[in-house]
Amino acid sequence: MSDHIPRIRDELQRGFGSGKLKSVAFRREQLLALAYLLQENQARFQEAMQRDLGRPPLETSLLDLNGSIREAFLCYKRVEQWAKEESPKFNLATWAISPRLRKEAKGIVLIIGPFNFPIWCLFSPLAAAIAAGNAAVLKPSSHTPATSALIAELVPKYLDPSLYRVVLGDNAEVSALLDLQWDHIFLTGGPKAGRIIATAAAKYLTPITLELGGKSPVIIDPSCDLETSCRRLLWAKTSNAGQICTGPDYVLVPKHFQDEFIEAMSVQYANFYPNGPAASDSFSRIVGPRHFTRIKALLDATKGEVALGGETDSATNYIAPTVVRDVREGDSLLSEELFAPILPVVPVEDLDEAIAYIRARDHPLALYLFAQDETVKRRVINSTLSGSVGINDCLLQVSAEGLPFGGVGPSGYGAHKGKFGFDTFTHLRPVIDSPWYVDLFMSLRFPPYSTKSLQKINAAMLPTLPNWQGAGKNVAMTTSAPVPVNVNARGRFWDGEAVAIGIKASGKGVLLNGKEWLGLVLGMGVVLVGCWVNFGRAL
Catalytically annotated residues:
211, 245
Max distance between CA atoms of the chain, in angstroms, equals 95
Closest CA to 105 of 129, 125, 82, 122: 129
Q: In this structure, are strands 184-188 and 108-112 parallel, antiparallel, or unpaired? A: parallel
Distance of CA 114 to the CA centre of its chain: 16
Nearest to 13 by CA among 172, 182, 129, 127: 182
Angle, in degrees to the nearest 10, between helices 226-238 and 258-272: 60
Contacts for 529 with CB less than 8 Å, ≥ 6 apart:
none
Cβ-based neighbour number of residue 104 at 10 Å: 14
Q: Strand locations in 96-211, DSSP E?
A: 100-105, 108-112, 135-139, 164-166, 184-188, 208-211
- Alpha carbons 351 and 219: distance in angstroms, whole number: 8
* Angle made by CA atoms 64, 199, 132, in degrees to the nearest 5: 45
Q: Round to whole Å and give the CA distance between 106 and 134.
A: 6
**Angstrom distances, CA of residue 393 to CA of 19, 178, 248, 347, 367:** 45, 38, 10, 21, 10
Give which of 325, 321, 324 is closest to 309, Cα–Cα: 321
Based on DSSP, count helices (H) and strands (E) in the chain, helices before strands: 18, 17
d(CA 107, CA 15): 10
DSSP per-residue codes, 269-307: HHHH-TT-GGG-SS----S-HHHHHHHHHHHHH--SEEE
d(CA 213, CA 486): 52
Alpha helices in 384-480 (DSSP H): 396-399, 418-424, 451-461
Closest among 284, 273, 281, 277 to 247, alpha carbons compared = 284
Cis upstream peptide for 222 (omega within 30°): no
In the sheet that 164-166 helps form, which strands lie side by side, from edge to edge? Answer: 164-166, 135-139, 108-112, 184-188, 208-211, 412-413
Phi first, then psi: what are they for 131, rounded to 5°?
Answer: -55, -35
What is the DSSP code string of 222-265?
TTS-HHHHHHHHHHHHHGGGG--TTSEEEEEEEGGGHHHHHHHH
88 neighbors 99 (Cβ within 8 angstroms): yes
Q: Is 482 left (phi over 0), alpha (psi -120 to 50) or beta?
A: beta
Residue ranges of E strands in 291-384: 305-308, 312-313, 318-319, 322-325, 342-348, 366-370
